[in-house]
């Protein structure tokens, strides 16, 4: 019977962090690096695996990366998330873009064409990151106001 009680105490005393999902907090630079490196890796993976349909797959994969970047950036750097996601989109588009004859000019033209044809994914991901950031900012402001009101009432 005492072993049941001690097991119950151990289960209740487990830290809450052990029961939740990871919640990293990235600085503005860290969020930008995270987003750019993940998009570069996804661009390389999409180019190798999907060939001609790589740009569409890349665009679809861009959306969850935007969500993670906007959720994981720390509060003081919230406004960096909607800025870094379009830059990361361009970084990851490099391996996915058509390169024609392989010259620098044709690679640049492939990037411009890729940006033009995939603008919907780019704008959508940036909009998602912006909405998440605005929501987090509003929640942060209301918490501060609520805490200030409760301090005044006491």
- Over residues 42-66, the pLDDT tens digits come to 999 999 998 878 899 999 999 999 9
How would DSSP label each residue in 10-78? HHHTS-GGGGS-----B-HHHHHHHHHHHHHHHHHHHHHHHGGGHHHHHHHHHHHHHHHHHHHB-GGGG
Residue 123 pLDDT: 96
Q: Residue 18 above 60 pLDDT? A: no
What confidence category does residue 135 fall into, taking pLDDT thresholds of 50, 70 and 90?
Answer: very high
Residue 83 pLDDT: 95
Please name every residue paired with 73 in a beta bridge, in sequence order, or none if there are none: 26
- Angle (CA) 114 82 38, round 5°: 60
Q: What is the mean pLDDT of the chain?
A: 86
Cα radius of gyration (the chain)? 22
In angstroms, the CA 89 to CA 5 distance is 54
Q: 3-class SS at 98?
A: coil
């Amino acid at each position: 019977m005492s072993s049941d009680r001690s097991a119950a105490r151990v289960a209740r005393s487990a830290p809450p962090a052990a029961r939740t999902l990871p919640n990293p907090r990235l600085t503005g630079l860290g969020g930008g690096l995270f987003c750019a490196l993940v998009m570069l890796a996804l661009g390389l993976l999409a180019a190798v695996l999907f060939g001609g349909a790589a740009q569409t797959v890349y665009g679809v994969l861009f959306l969850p990366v935007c969500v993670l970047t906007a959720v994981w950036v720390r509060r003081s750097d919230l406004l960096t998330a909607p800025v870094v996601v379009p830059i990361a989109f361009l970084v990851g588009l490099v391996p996915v873009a058509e390169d024609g004859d392989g010259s620098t000019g044709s690679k640049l033209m492939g990037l411009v064409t890729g940006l033009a044809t995939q603008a919907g994914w780019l704008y959508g991901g940036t909009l998602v990151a912006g909405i998440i950031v605005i929501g987090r900012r509003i929640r942060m402001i209301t918490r501060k106001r609520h805490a200030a009101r409760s301090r005044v009432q006491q």
